[in-house]
A = this chain, B = another copy of it.
Amino acid sequence: MLQLSKKVEYGLIALRHMAMKPMGQVFTAKELAKEYDMPYDLLAKVLQKLARHGIVASLQGVRGGYALAKKPTEVTVSLIIRVIEEERPMVAECYTDGPASCYLFGNCTIRKPLGKLQRNLNVLFDTMTVQEIV
Protein backbone atom coordinates (compact mmCIF):
# COMPACT_ATOMS: atom_id res chain seq x y z
CA MET A 1 0.00 0.00 0.00
CA LEU A 2 1.20 3.45 -1.01
CA GLN A 3 4.18 1.95 -2.77
CA LEU A 4 5.81 3.62 -5.71
CA SER A 5 5.42 1.51 -8.83
CA LYS A 6 8.34 -0.38 -10.29
CA LYS A 7 8.24 1.87 -13.33
CA VAL A 8 8.74 4.92 -11.15
CA GLU A 9 11.56 3.20 -9.30
CA TYR A 10 13.24 2.31 -12.57
CA GLY A 11 12.89 5.89 -13.71
CA LEU A 12 14.32 7.26 -10.51
CA ILE A 13 17.28 4.90 -10.62
CA ALA A 14 18.02 5.82 -14.21
CA LEU A 15 17.68 9.56 -13.63
CA ARG A 16 19.86 9.39 -10.57
CA HIS A 17 22.51 7.56 -12.56
CA MET A 18 22.51 10.30 -15.16
CA ALA A 19 22.59 13.01 -12.54
CA MET A 20 25.73 11.52 -11.03
CA LYS A 21 27.72 11.93 -14.23
CA PRO A 22 28.64 15.07 -16.14
CA MET A 23 25.64 16.91 -17.55
CA GLY A 24 24.89 15.96 -21.15
CA GLN A 25 26.46 12.52 -21.07
CA VAL A 26 24.53 9.97 -23.11
CA PHE A 27 23.43 6.58 -21.82
CA THR A 28 21.64 3.81 -23.66
CA ALA A 29 18.63 2.06 -22.19
CA LYS A 30 20.58 -1.15 -22.59
CA GLU A 31 23.51 -0.14 -20.43
CA LEU A 32 21.26 1.36 -17.77
CA ALA A 33 19.19 -1.80 -17.65
CA LYS A 34 22.28 -3.94 -17.36
CA GLU A 35 23.97 -1.80 -14.74
CA TYR A 36 21.04 -2.03 -12.34
CA ASP A 37 19.53 -5.30 -13.50
CA MET A 38 16.27 -3.73 -14.62
CA PRO A 39 14.02 -5.21 -17.37
CA TYR A 40 15.21 -3.60 -20.59
CA ASP A 41 11.83 -3.33 -22.33
CA LEU A 42 10.15 -1.75 -19.39
CA LEU A 43 12.94 0.70 -18.72
CA ALA A 44 12.93 1.62 -22.39
CA LYS A 45 9.26 2.55 -22.17
CA VAL A 46 9.92 4.65 -19.10
CA LEU A 47 12.76 6.51 -20.75
CA GLN A 48 10.62 7.14 -23.80
CA LYS A 49 8.00 8.79 -21.64
CA LEU A 50 10.59 10.87 -19.87
CA ALA A 51 11.91 11.89 -23.29
CA ARG A 52 8.48 12.85 -24.61
CA HIS A 53 8.09 15.18 -21.67
CA GLY A 54 11.50 16.75 -22.02
CA ILE A 55 13.01 15.41 -18.83
CA VAL A 56 15.63 13.57 -20.83
CA ALA A 57 16.74 14.19 -24.39
CA SER A 58 16.81 11.21 -26.72
CA LEU A 59 19.21 10.54 -29.56
CA GLN A 60 18.17 7.91 -32.06
CA GLY A 61 20.29 5.64 -34.14
CA VAL A 62 23.70 4.13 -33.57
CA ARG A 63 25.48 5.76 -30.63
CA GLY A 64 22.17 7.17 -29.56
CA GLY A 65 20.68 7.07 -26.09
CA TYR A 66 19.39 9.42 -23.46
CA ALA A 67 20.84 12.40 -21.66
CA LEU A 68 19.44 14.44 -18.84
CA ALA A 69 17.72 17.47 -20.32
CA LYS A 70 16.94 19.35 -17.13
CA LYS A 71 19.01 20.19 -14.12
CA PRO A 72 18.59 17.64 -11.31
CA THR A 73 17.28 20.43 -9.10
CA GLU A 74 14.46 21.09 -11.55
CA VAL A 75 13.11 17.56 -11.76
CA THR A 76 10.74 16.80 -8.90
CA VAL A 77 9.58 13.36 -7.88
CA SER A 78 6.09 14.68 -8.44
CA LEU A 79 6.86 15.39 -12.09
CA ILE A 80 8.48 12.02 -12.60
CA ILE A 81 5.43 10.24 -11.26
CA ARG A 82 3.04 12.33 -13.31
CA VAL A 83 4.98 11.61 -16.47
CA ILE A 84 5.47 7.90 -15.91
CA GLU A 85 2.06 7.09 -14.45
CA GLU A 86 0.24 9.65 -16.54
CA GLU A 87 -1.53 10.86 -13.44
CA ARG A 88 -0.84 12.61 -10.19
CA PRO A 89 -0.29 10.61 -7.03
CA MET A 90 -3.61 10.87 -5.21
CA VAL A 91 -4.93 9.37 -1.97
CA ALA A 92 -8.41 8.83 -3.37
CA GLU A 93 -9.68 7.57 -6.67
CA CYS A 94 -12.23 10.33 -7.06
CA TYR A 95 -9.48 12.95 -6.90
CA THR A 96 -7.95 11.45 -10.04
CA ASP A 97 -10.94 10.27 -12.00
CA GLY A 98 -13.77 12.43 -10.74
CA PRO A 99 -17.11 11.77 -9.03
CA ALA A 100 -18.20 9.05 -11.43
CA SER A 101 -15.23 6.87 -10.50
CA CYS A 102 -16.55 6.09 -7.02
CA TYR A 103 -20.08 5.00 -6.24
CA LEU A 104 -19.62 6.26 -2.68
CA PHE A 105 -19.09 9.81 -3.86
CA GLY A 106 -22.60 10.95 -3.05
CA ASN A 107 -22.51 9.97 0.58
CA CYS A 108 -18.77 10.06 1.18
CA THR A 109 -17.88 11.86 4.38
CA ILE A 110 -14.13 11.53 4.21
CA ARG A 111 -13.42 13.07 0.85
CA LYS A 112 -12.95 16.59 2.09
CA PRO A 113 -10.94 15.72 5.18
CA LEU A 114 -8.59 13.64 3.05
CA GLY A 115 -7.86 16.77 1.08
CA LYS A 116 -5.62 17.93 3.86
CA LEU A 117 -3.62 14.73 3.60
CA GLN A 118 -3.45 15.17 -0.14
CA ARG A 119 -2.13 18.70 0.08
CA ASN A 120 0.60 17.65 2.45
CA LEU A 121 1.49 14.78 0.15
CA ASN A 122 1.71 17.15 -2.77
CA VAL A 123 4.19 19.28 -0.87
CA LEU A 124 6.35 16.25 -0.19
CA PHE A 125 6.48 15.11 -3.80
CA ASP A 126 6.79 18.61 -5.20
CA THR A 127 9.69 19.35 -2.90
CA MET A 128 11.85 16.31 -3.48
CA THR A 129 14.04 16.52 -6.57
CA VAL A 130 16.49 14.25 -8.36
CA GLN A 131 19.25 16.35 -6.83
CA GLU A 132 18.29 14.96 -3.45
CA ILE A 133 18.83 11.36 -4.42
CA VAL A 134 22.32 11.61 -5.91
- The total of chain A residues at the interface (CB under 8 A) is 43
For the complex, is A77 an interface residue (Cβ under 8 Å from B)? Answer: yes
CB proximity of A102 to chain B, nearest CB, Å: 9
Q: List 11 A-B contacts (CB under 8 A).
A: A2-B91, A3-B93, A9-B92, A9-B104, A13-B110, A36-B108, A37-B103, A37-B104, A37-B107, A77-B117, A113-B132
| A interface residue numbers (CB < 8 A to B) | 1-5, 8-9, 12-13, 16-17, 35-38, 77, 81, 85, 87, 89-93, 96, 103-104, 106-110, 113-114, 116-117, 120-121, 124-125, 128, 132-133
Having A1-B87, A13-B109, A16-B113, one finds 14 other A-B pairs with CB under 8 Å, namely A2-B89, A2-B90, A9-B92, A12-B110, A13-B108, A13-B110, A16-B110, A36-B104, A36-B109, A37-B107, A109-B133, A113-B132, A117-B125, A120-B124
